[in-house]
Structures are given as structure tokens and as C-alpha cells.
């Protein structure tokens, strides 16, 4: 919430859009990048924890989310736009280099920030989504469709307007409840016949209060879901545009943390990639991999204190 103790808010003009940022603390800067379906507020615990230890926490609402601008065109959500927003934001804040922490789509953007502009990143802590090297043979949505079928959520997100209509039928609060309450390593499917009834009882996880949910929902009521879903609609376009980076390495000191109940930790072949040398090949300065037992996708909220400590224990080595 805007009233979270110690957090200041402002709007920064960067990369030709208005970007809302939340800030807390003074000292070396840590840039927090949220994923879907969240906003800056996802990092409230880590912001307070890092600020109390002498760091300046900066958490933007990413393009299309919250109080940041929501461009209209799908093609305004490519990875180049998203990384461009961050570089322009750092320039506007006069920060030549920062620590970066990402989760979900924020982690994906962080990987590409490090790939494109490693000079701007002192060290990286990424959560949930490991680096995914570009497969030159097949676009990602096609690969996901082959692996999981037409009702897999990423595939369902592709048709403009379709999933927005379904989310509107269910209501913002129920949609968020469904995502936040999911603690299963199994793939997420959204059936074409409907993702349940608007009256479905979906209890919140213990790490999220009704007040927290209401704040998230108020921001999605304002911005809508189209901007965030456009990230997914640009996946194959990103694949086309990043062909020159096929085989490129991420050369930034990195720590990776994932829950063993996170669906991202159960993609086909991902555990072998993470633990059998592929990840280290592509991210040669990967210094630590942590798998948290019994923990799901929203790891930074579910295990807030532990994640704050993991971040601090890593970045203090480079401060």
C-alpha cells in the first residue's frame, strides 16, 4: 500500500513512459523486479529488510502494471522495451550500477538486463525462473503447446482479448486468489470451457492477508490484465528478435533460489539443466543455487524473511 511504513513513491519519466517506483532506505541500490500477477508491493518485506541493513531498495511497477503506464500495443512489451525501461530508469536515477533481484517475469527481464547490459548490474539474485537459453529450433509458445497442450495458461494467454474476457467473468479478486493460492508443482491449465465459477471459494494462502489481496486487486482494477498478459504474447516475438544472442552467456555474479514445489522447477528437463552443468555453462558466474523444500512459486512472500536473508548474504559480498 502507498501507506507502507518507510516507503516513498514517485513517478519517473523514462523510456518515453511514466514509471511508478517505490523506494525505501539509503545506501547501495537494490532494484527489485516483480512478476505476474504482482506489483512493487510483492517486495515489501525485502525492501524493509534491506533498508534496515543499509541499502536503498527500489521497486518499480513494471510496464503495464499498477501505477506505471500501460501502452496499448502488444509489440510495446518486447524484452527490449522492458530492459530499456530499466536502463532508462537507472539513468534517470543517476545510478550507474545496481544490485538486481527478480522473480517470475521480473527474473526473466533481469536475465536479459544482465545479458544486454552487464555493466549496469553489480550482482544478481533471481528467484523461481532459471535462465532459459534460446532454442534456435523452435519458438517457446510452440514448444509449450507441444509439451502441455492448448489449455496450458501461456497458450491460453496468446489470443488477444480471450483471457481478459474470462478474467472479467470471474472478477479480479478471484483471479488473483486462484494464482496466489496455487502451491502445486503441476502445470497451470485454464480450460476453454471456463476457469470455474465466480462463486468458487478459494482461500488465501497464509502469507497473504485480505488487506494485501485488496491492494493488489485495486491496482489490477486500475491497470487491467492486458499489459501483463502482453508479456506472454511477446514471447515468440522475443524469440525472433533475440536470435543474435543465441548461445550468449550471462556474465554477472549470480545466486538462484527456487522452491521445490514451484511449477517452474518442474518444467521438462529443468532440474537436470540446473543441477547437471547446463545452468553453470550459460551463467558462468553462477555462485549459488538454493532449492527451498516445501516452498511454492511466490517464494519471496511465502518465505519472506529467509529470502531477505539470502539476498543480503549474497550482495554484501559485493558491496
- Known catalytic residues are 104, 232, 297
80 grid coordinates: 527490449
Q: At what angle do helices 105-116 and 79-92 cross, to 10 degrees?
A: 70
Is 42 within 8 Å of 1 (Cβ atoms)?
no
208 grid coordinates: 497473504
Residue 163 belongs to what H/E stretch? helix 162-170
For every residue of 86-136, DSSP letters joined together read HHHHHHHTT-S-EEEEEETHHHHHHHHHHHH-GGGEEEEEEES-------S
17: β partners: 14
DSSP-derived letter for residue 159 is S
d(CA 298, CA 285): 25
117 grid coordinates: 547490459
38 closest CA partner among 57, 59, 66, 12: 66
19: β partners: 12
109 closest CA partner among 77, 151, 72, 66: 77
Parallel/antiparallel/unpaired status of strands 121-127 and 17-24: unpaired
173 grid coordinates: 479478486
Residues in the chain: 319
Helix or strand or coil: residue 30?
strand
Amino acid at each position: 500500500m502507498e501507506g507502507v511504513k518507510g516507503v516513498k513513491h514517485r513517478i519517473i519519466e523514462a523510456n518515453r513512459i511514466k514509471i511508478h517506483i517505490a523506494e525505501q532506505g539509503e545506501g547501495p541500490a537494490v532494484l527489485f523486479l516483480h512478476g505476474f500477477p504482482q506489483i512493487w508491493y510483492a517486495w515489501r518485506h525485502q525492501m524493509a529488510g534491506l533498508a534496515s541493513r543499509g541499502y536503498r531498495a527500489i521497486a518499480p511497477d513494471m510496464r503495464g502494471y499498477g501505477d506505471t503506464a500501460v501502452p496499448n500495443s502488444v509489440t510495446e512489451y518486447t524484452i527490449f522495451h522492458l530492459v530499456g525501461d530499466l536502463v532508462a530508469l537507472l539513468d534517470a536515477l543517476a545510478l550507474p550500477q545496481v544490485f538486481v533481484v527478480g522473480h517470475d517475469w521480473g527474473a526473466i527481464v533481469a536475465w536479459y538486463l544482465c545479458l544486454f547490459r552487464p555493466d549496469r548490474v553489480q550482482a544478481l539474485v533471481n528467484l523461481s525462473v532459471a535462465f532459459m537459453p534460446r532454442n534456435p529450433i523452435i519458438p517457446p509458445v510452440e514448444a509449450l503447446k507441444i509439451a502441455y497442450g492448448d489449455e496450458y495458461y501461456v497458450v491460453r494467454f496468446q489470443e488477444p482479448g480471450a483471457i481478459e474476457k474470462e478474467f472479467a467473468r470471474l472478477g479480479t479478486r478471484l483471479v488473483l486468489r486462484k494464482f496466489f493460492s496455487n502451491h502445486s508443482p503441476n502445470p497451470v491449465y485454464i480450460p476453454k470451457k471456463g476457469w470455474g465459477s465466480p462463486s468458487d471459494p478459494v482461500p488465501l494462502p497464509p502469507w497473504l492477508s485480505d488487506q494485501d489481496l485488496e491492494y493488489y486487486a485495486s491496482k489490477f482494477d486500475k491497470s487491467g490484465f492486458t499489459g501483463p498478459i502482453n508479456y506472454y504474447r511477446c514471447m515468440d516475438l522475443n524469440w525472433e528478435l533475440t536470435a543474435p544472442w543465441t548461445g550468449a552467456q550471462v556474465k554477472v555474479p549470480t545466486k538462484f533460489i527456487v522452491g521445490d514445489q514451484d511449477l517452474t522447477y518442474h518444467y521438462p528437463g529443468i532440474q537436470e539443466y540446473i543441477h547437471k552443468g547446463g545452468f553453470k555453462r550459460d551463467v558462468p558466474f553462477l555462485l549459488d543455487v538454493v532449492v527451498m523444500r516445501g516452498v511454492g512459486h511466490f517464494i519471496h512472500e511465502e518465505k519472506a524473511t529467509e529470502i531477505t536473508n539470502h539476498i543480503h548474504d549474497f550482495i554484501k559480498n559485493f558491496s
